[in-house]
């Protein structure tokens, strides 16, 4: 079996290496010629996963046509803000009637579409039944190191999710299937914004009590919006909800938490991002979350304070005061 991964960042590379367990050949597409050459000659992605050996079954390429030729499963591992452009360029070469898995955890700015909605928006209808999403607590480095990792694969068509599950199953990588495409994606996207908030609290030295409150109330925000959009609230207590949220808010490998920590120390967002090699999806998703709160009327107080700190120059201290002095209410009655 041949599979394809579009995107040679840390997670795309890690997933390609995992797919190589069950696939005879995995084609990995990337933009960087030096990176592609290094993967093919040294079997290592020294830019994003230094020190981790890649399977010789993983072959990198600069050509989308070559990457996708004859593929029986396609993974889209580009950042959410780049997905529309890459998919449009890949369309002439995309194989028909094969699973198309998105692993980006974001909500497109302006359109406010989830990644599966974005794919449906820019792909012909014949592709739509084969779209799936993979999400859950999965740092790329640990996945690449073969540390036990468990995720969720959601699709509207059960056979597609089951097909993806079978190909991805290894001794160290397990997945559960779901038909809640909406809930899985809102959990995966908004947890990044909450992780920035957790990082801000850590950067300010606010302690474990504050972090626990942010995780818990953050989950309440994510669940409110996901349910409003048609998601199952039980999904948000699972791997793509609580599981991913806890990991991203507490793990040392979390890019979004790292951004938050630097914001909590008083640094400017532009300076923080300039130092990062990889994308922190929560930065752009904070804008989408703020716009969704305004559009839907769903209260997302933590997400909106993250947006205000990142985009409007609000002080983290003032944001905390506003959150803590909001109108008292019952825990289960709303925001």
The CATH class for the domain spanning 2-179 reads alpha beta
Q: Where are the domains of the chain?
A: 2-179, 190-324
Please give the pLDDT value at position 299: 95
What are the distances in angstroms from CA 139 to CA 10, 19, 114, 322?
A: 9, 16, 21, 32
Q: What pairs with residue 25 in β-bridges?
A: 2
Residue 30 above 90 pLDDT?
Answer: yes
As a whole number, the mean pLDDT across the chain is 96
Residue 204: count other Cβ atoms within 10 Å of its Cβ: 18
For the stretch 208-218, pLDDT in tens is 999 999 999 99
| Pairing mode, strands 100-102 and 74-76 | parallel
What are the distances in angstroms from CA 110 to CA 11, 38, 88, 307?
A: 26, 37, 18, 15
Residue 85 above 70 pLDDT?
Answer: yes
| Percent of all residues in the chain with a pLDDT value above 70, rounded to a whole number | 99
Mean pLDDT, rounded, for 102-122: 97
pLDDT band at 335 (very low <50, low <70, confident <90, very high): low
- Candidates 316, 318, 199; CA nearest to 251 is 199
Question: Is position 295 annotated as part of the catalytic site?
Answer: no
Coil, helix or strand at residue 315: coil
The CATH architecture one would assign to domain 190-324 is: Orthogonal Bundle (1.10)
Please give the pLDDT value at position 278: 85
For the stretch 135-148, pLDDT in tens is 999 999 999 999 99
Mean pLDDT, rounded, for 298-314: 96
Tell me the H-state helices in 229-300: 244-250, 255-264, 269-274, 281-296
Annotated active-site residue in 191, 229, 265, 317: 191
Please give the pLDDT value at position 334: 64
| Percent of all residues in the chain with a pLDDT value above 90, rounded to a whole number | 96
| Pairing mode, strands 173-178 and 149-155 | parallel
User: Which tokens sit at 192?
Assistant: 């990044």
């Amino acid at each position: 079996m041949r599979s394809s991964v579009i995107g040679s960042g840390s997670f795309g590379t890690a997933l390609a290496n995992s797919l190589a367990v069950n696939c005879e050949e995995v084609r990995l597409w990337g933009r960087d010629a030096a990176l592609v050459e290094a993967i093919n000659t040294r079997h290592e992605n020294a830019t994003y996963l230094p020190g981790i050996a890649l399977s010789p079954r993983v072959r990198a390429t600069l050509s989308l046509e070559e990457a996708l030729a004859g593929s029986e499963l396609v993974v889209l591992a580009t950042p959410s803000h780049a997905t529309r452009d890459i998919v449009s360029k890949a369309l002439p070469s995309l194989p028909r009637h094969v699973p198309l898995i998105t692993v980006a955890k974001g909500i497109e700015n302006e359109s406010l579409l989830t990644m599966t909605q974005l794919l449906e928006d820019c792909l012909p209808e014949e592709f739509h039944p084969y779209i799936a999403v993979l999400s859950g607590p999965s740092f790329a480095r640990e996945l690449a190191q073969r540390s036990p990792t468990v995720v969720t694969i959601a699709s509207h068509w059960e056979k597609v999710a089951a097909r993806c599950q079978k190909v991805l199953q290894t001794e160290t990588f397990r997945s559960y299937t779901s038909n809640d495409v909406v809930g899985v994606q809102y959990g995966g996207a908004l947890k990044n914004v909450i992780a920035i908030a957790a990082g801000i609290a850590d950067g300010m030295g606010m302690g474990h009590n504050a972090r626990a409150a942010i995780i818990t109330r953050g989950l309440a925000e994510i669940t409110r919006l996901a349910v409003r959009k048609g998601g199952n609230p039980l999904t948000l207590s699972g791997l793509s909800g609580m599981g991913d949220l806890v990991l991203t808010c507490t793990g040392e490998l979390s890019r979004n938490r790292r951004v938050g920590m630097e914001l909590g120390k008083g640094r400017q967002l532009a300076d923080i991002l300039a130092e990062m090699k990889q994308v922190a999806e929560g930065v752009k998703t904070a804008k989408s979350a703020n716009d969704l709160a305004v559009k839907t009327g769903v209260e997302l107080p933590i997400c909106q304070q993250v947006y205000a700190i990142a985009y409007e120059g609000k002080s983290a201290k003032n944001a905390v005061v506003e959150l803590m002095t909001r109108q008292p209410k019952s825990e289960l009655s709303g925001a």
